Structure 1
Amino acid sequence: MVQWFETVAEAHRLARKRLPKSVYKALVAGSERGLTLDDNISAFGELGFAPHIADLPAKRDLSTTVLGQEISLPVIISPTGVQAVHPEGEVAVARAAAAAGTAMGLSSFASRSVEDVVAANPKTFFQVYWAGDRDRLLARLERARAAGAKGLIITLDWSFATARDWGSPPIPQALDLRAKLRFAPQGLLRPRWLWGFLRHGLPDLTTPNMALEGEAAPTFFGAYGEWMQTPPPTWEDVAWLREQWDGPFAIKGVTRPDDARRAVDVGATAISVSNHGGNNLDSTPAAIRLLPAIAEAVGDQLDILFDGGIRRGSDVVKALALGADAVMIGRAYLWGLAANGQAGVQNVLDILRSGIDSALLGLGKSSVRELVPEDLVVPAGFRREVTC
C-alpha cells in the first residue's frame, strides 16, 4: 500500500520523481508551443455533468466490446513507442491490462516483441506506421497475425515534430559508451530507476517489431529513419493495407468528419479520434472538441475510439457521452508504469474504473452504453468541426 496512489495526478508526480529528466520530459512532450497538448486536458474541465438524485442504479455495467474484443471497462492501452520508464516495458503493461480485463495496443516501435506481448495479453492490437515498401509492411502484418494479434491499428497522425518552445529532451541513438557517460548523472540522481534497469539490463532503444526475419532489431532512430524516408500513404495505400488484414482494422488520428467518412469507405472497422497526444500539428483543437461532429458523421458505421487527455474516470464518461465507444490512454498508464511497474498500471486502470462507476451512478445510468450527450452540460462554442 505504500506504493499505491489514489489519482492519476499522483502517479504523474511519482513518475516525475523517479524518472531521469530526459525520460520524463519525453513523456510529457507536446509539439511547438504545446497548445494542443494543453487543450486536450483543459477542454474536459469545460464540460459539466447533469446528475440525477433518485432512482439511481444499484449496479452498473462498465463492459463493452471494441474491435471484436469484450473488455471489462471502456479503456484500452494506446500503443506508445520505446518504453524506457520500466525494465519490463510493454510486457508489464500487457499483463496489467489482461488482469484488468482489457485490451493492449502494441506499437511497432515498441521495445518488446509482439510475440512476448500477445503471450502476456491475448487481446492485443498491433499498431503500424506506413514505413518501408509494401513487402516489408506485409511481412510485419504476417508476423503480427502469426503471433495472434487480434486487430491492426495504422497510425496516421504523427509528424514527429521536435521543435518545442521549452526544448526537446536529448534522445541517444544507442546506449553506447559515449551515451552512457553523457546520461550517467541523470541516472545516478534516480537510483531506483537505474537499479531496476541494471538488474534487467539497460534499455537498448531498439524496435524488435520493425525487424524482418533474419534482421537485427533497428534502433528507434533507425526505425524512424525508415518511416521518414517512406512517402506518406494515400487513401489507396490505406485501402490496400486494409485488404491485407482480414480482422478488425482501425485508423488512428482522425480529426475531421470527411476523413472519418474516407475511413468507412476503405473498410475500417474503427477509428481513433486523436491528435497524437498533442504531438502532431500544434493548434489542432482538443480531440474531445472534435469528437461530437465525427461521431455524428460515422458513429453508426464503425467503432469510435477516443485518445487525448484522459486523466480520470469522469473524462472517460464525458468522451463516451459525446459518441466514443471506448477511450485509449497513453501518458496515464506510462506514469503508472514508471511509478510502480505492472502494479502501477493496474492501479491507474482501477482508478479509472472507479471514476467511471461513480459517474454512471450520479448520472443514473446502469451501463456505459446508455450515455448520451444530454448527460452533459456543454457550453456554447465548445465544439470544433470542419464543415465538409
Structure 2
Amino acid sequence: MLPAIKDYRALARRRLPRFAFDYLDGGAEDGRGLARNLAAYEQLLFNPRILRDVSTVDATVSLFGQVQSMPAVVGPTGLNGLYWPQAEETLARAAHAAGLPFAMSTASTSLLEDVRAATAGDLWLQLYVQQDRRIAEDMMRRAQALGFSTLMLTVDTMVHGKRDHDVRNRFKMPLRITPRLVMDVATHPRWCVRMLRQGGSPQLVNLAHSADVPVSMQAQAALMSRQMDMSLDWNAIAWMRSHWRGPVLIKGVLSVADSQLALRYGADGVVLSNHGGRQLESAPSPLEVLPAVVDAVGDKLDILVDGGIRRGDDIAKARALGAKAVLLGRAPLFGLAATGPQGVADVLQILREEFETALRLLGVPAARQLGESALSEDYRQRLARL
C-alpha cells in the first residue's frame, strides 16, 4: 500500500496515456475551480481536544436508513473503462467490501445489470436527463428492478464545461486515430493490453441499452452529443417520483436558494457540488457554501458534499460542518488507474484509517458527534459573523 492518495495519483499519471489522465484529473478552463475545491479543505483548521477517552472510535454513520462504515459514498464518474476493464464492477465491489454505497453514473461503461450481478451491496443511480426523457425513464426502471436504493439527479450539465485539456489532447469519443494519439498510447503498453482484453475502446453501454442504439462508439457518441433536456425544472422531481420509490437527491446545488427549492419540491437531499471543478470554473467550492445551506435546511434535508476530498481529515471537516457524507470521485479512480482493484481497496482503506486517526486526535470518539466544536475558534467566530 502506498502512503497517500497523492501517491496513487502520481502512479496513475505514469500508467495512463496523457489524454486519459487529463480527462480524469483535469478541471474546467484554467483549473481554478478544481484548485479552489482543494484549497477550501486546506484552509479549514481543527480545534483538537485532549485527555478524552478515544480507546475506541466509531466511524459509522447512517444514511437513508443504511449504516455505513464512514460518512462517504463512492461517487458517480463517467467513462471509467478508460482506466481499467470492468471498472464499475471493480469500484462497486471495493466500495461494498469497505462498507460504503456505490453510485453508478449514467455514463458508465458497464451495464447496471452486470454491476448488480457483481455485488449485493447498496447501489445508487446517478441520472442525466436528455431531451428524450424515455431514456432516463428506462434507466430508472432498470435500476429500480435491480434493487438500486437511491436516485441522484445531476443538474449542472446542461452543456459541457470548457475543458481545455481535452481540446489540446483532441480527446472525444469515439477516439480519433492521430499520430499524437498513437505515440501517446504506444508509450503505455500495459494500458494498451488491458484495453485490448476488454475489446478495445470502452463503451457507454448503459446509455446505449436504455436508448436502444447499437453498441458502437459512433452511435453512442452521437447519442451523448445530443443536448441535455434544457427544459428540466423543479417539476422534474415530481416526474422522477412517478418512476422511483426510494430517496431522491439533487446533485449540483451551490446556493441556499436552490437548497430551499429542493426542499419545497420534495427532494430528500442535495449534493453540494461544482462537478469536481469541471463545469463552471468560477463556481464556489461546495465546502464554502456548506455552512449556509446546513443552517437553512440541514434539519430537513440530508446534505452531501463532493469536490476535493483527498484525506480522511477532509471527510472529518465536511462532517463537522454539517454534511451527512461526502462523495468520493477522483480518489478511488486514482487507485483504480494505478493498480486496479487493489488500488481502489487501498485508497478506501487509507481514507478510513485517516478518518479514524482524525477522530482520535480531535478527541471525538464517534463520527456522529462531529460538529462545529471540532473546528478552530477563529473559523467558528467567522461563521458566527456570517
Please give the TM-score of this superposition, normalised by the length of structure 2. Answer: 0.92
* SS of structure 1 residue aligned to 2:292: helix
Counterpart of 2:185, as a letter, is: G
Mapped contact 2:89–2:115 kept (Cα < 8 A): yes
Say which of 48, 55, 78 aligns to 1:58. Answer: 55
Q: Structure 2 matches for 1:1-388, cutoff 5 A?
A: 4-83=1-80, 84-121=82-119, 122-158=121-157, 159-164=159-164, 168-175=168-175, 179=177, 183-212=181-210, 214-217=212-215, 219=217, 221-226=221-226, 228=227, 230-377=229-376, 379=379
* SS of structure 2 residue aligned to 1:211: helix
Q: Are residues 106 and 279 of structure 1, via their aligned partners in 2, closer, same or farther at CA, if it must alter by over 3 Å? A: same
* SS of structure 2 residue aligned to 1:125: strand
TM-fit CA distance, 1:5: 1.1
Counterpart of 2:298, as a letter, is: G
Q: Are residues 204 and 292 of structure 1, via their aligned partners in 2, closer, same or farther at CA, if it must alter by over 3 Å? A: same
Q: Deviations over 1:275-328 (max 9, x none)?
A: 000012111111111111111111111211110100000000000000101100
Determine what percentage of the aligned residue pairs are the same residue.
35
TM-fit CA distance, 1:80: 0.6
Query: Pairwise CA RMSD of aligned residues?
Result: 2.3
Q: Deviations over 1:333-379 (max 9, x none)?
A: 11000011111111110010011101100111111110111211254
Q: Are residues 305 and 380 of structure 1, via their aligned partners in 2, closer, same or farther at CA, if it must alter by over 3 Å? A: closer
CA distance in 2, matches of 1:347, 1:289: 29
**After alignment, is 216-225 or 16-25 more displaced?**
216-225
* Count of aligned residue pairs for this structure pair: 379
CA distance in 2, matches of 1:207, 1:223: 11
CA distance in 2, matches of 1:316, 1:214: 40
TM-fit CA distance, 1:251: 0.8
Q: Are residues 215 and 335 of structure 1, via their aligned partners in 2, closer, same or farther at CA, if it must alter by over 3 Å? A: same
Q: Deviations over 1:170-211 (max 9, x none)?
A: 224325xx5287623212211221222223322233242443
Mapped contact 2:135–2:211 kept (Cα < 8 A): no
**After alignment, is 5-14 or 190-199 more displaced?**
190-199
Counterpart of 2:331, as a letter, is: A
Q: Deviations over 1:54-106 (max 9, x none)?
A: 02321111111223332111111110111101112111111111111111010
Q: Which runs of 5+ in 2 are unaligned?
A: none
* SS of structure 2 residue aligned to 1:235: coil
* SS of structure 1 residue aligned to 2:263: helix
TM-fit CA distance, 1:119: 2.5
Q: Are residues 381 and 166 of structure 1, via their aligned partners in 2, closer, same or farther at CA, if it must alter by over 3 Å? A: farther
* SS of structure 1 residue aligned to 2:22: helix
Please give the TM-score of this superposition, normalised by the length of structure 1. Answer: 0.91
Counterpart of 2:237, as a letter, is: V
* SS of structure 1 residue aligned to 2:19: helix
Dislocated runs of 4+, deviation >6 Å? 380-383
CA distance in 2, matches of 1:105, 1:371: 25
Q: Which runs of 5+ in 1 are unaligned?
A: none
* SS of structure 2 residue aligned to 1:111: coil
CA distance in 1, matches of 2:311, 2:49: 21
